[in-house]
Amino acid sequence: MEWLETSTENCPVQRTLEVVGEKWTLQILRDAANGVRRFEDFRRHMGLSEAVLSDRLRKLTSAEILRTVPYREPGSRARHEYRLTRKGWDLWPVLMALGQWGETYAGEPEGPVLDIRHSACGAPVRVVVECCAERTALTPGEVVARPGPGARRAG
């Protein structure tokens, strides 16, 4: 079976976009990965309406990408912070790859918005696709994609 013969109904990219593909969702995850935790901080930083932010946070929490952690400021009612779960942190390479692409093709002339470096050695960090066995970076021409066991025939 070839790619064009496979159904896209269970495509993992499509299923992922059903969870994180709405406008603002990846930006909320970007902020969460960079330490933003509180509703008002998300709203203020991104300029989102309360309704849109509430909807996206609710969906990300339902999908177990974010979890809520209660907190209480002195003299205020109890509220919740939003923290990435393991499932949420597993989207970090995706966010890094999107940022890397954006810096290359849609970046600021002054340079990167974020200077992301390895804390141990100080070298810049890049996202790559690598071979599991050889641990070497690969180009698209060095990769073969074939329908796997979960592929379904189209039609």
Mind listing the pLDDT tens digit for each residue in 16-55? Answer: 999 999 999 999 999 999 999 999 999 999 999 999 999 9
Q: Distance (Å, rounded) from C-alpha 113 to C-alpha 106?
A: 11
Domains in the chain: how many in total?
1
Determine, yes or no, domain membership for 14.
yes
pTM of the predicted protein model: 0.88
Tokens of 56: 């996206």
- Separation between Cα atoms, residue 152 and residue 1, nearest integer Å: 9
Residue 150 lies in a domain: no
19 contact partners, CB below 8 Å, separation of at least 6: 59, 63, 65
Residue 4 within any structural domain of the chain: no
- The answer to whether residue 148 is domain-embedded is no
Q: For residue 154, is it within any domain?
A: no
In a domain, 1, yes or no: no
Within a domain: residue 155?
no
CATH number at residue 46: 1.10.10.10
| Residue closest to 52 by CA, chosen among 91, 77, 23, 84 | 23
The pLDDT value recorded for residue 93 is: 96
- The parent domain of residue 72 ranges over 9-142
Residue 33 domain flag: yes
- Model pLDDT for residues 84-124, shown as the tens digit of each residue: 999 999 999 999 999 999 999 999 999 999 999 999 999 99
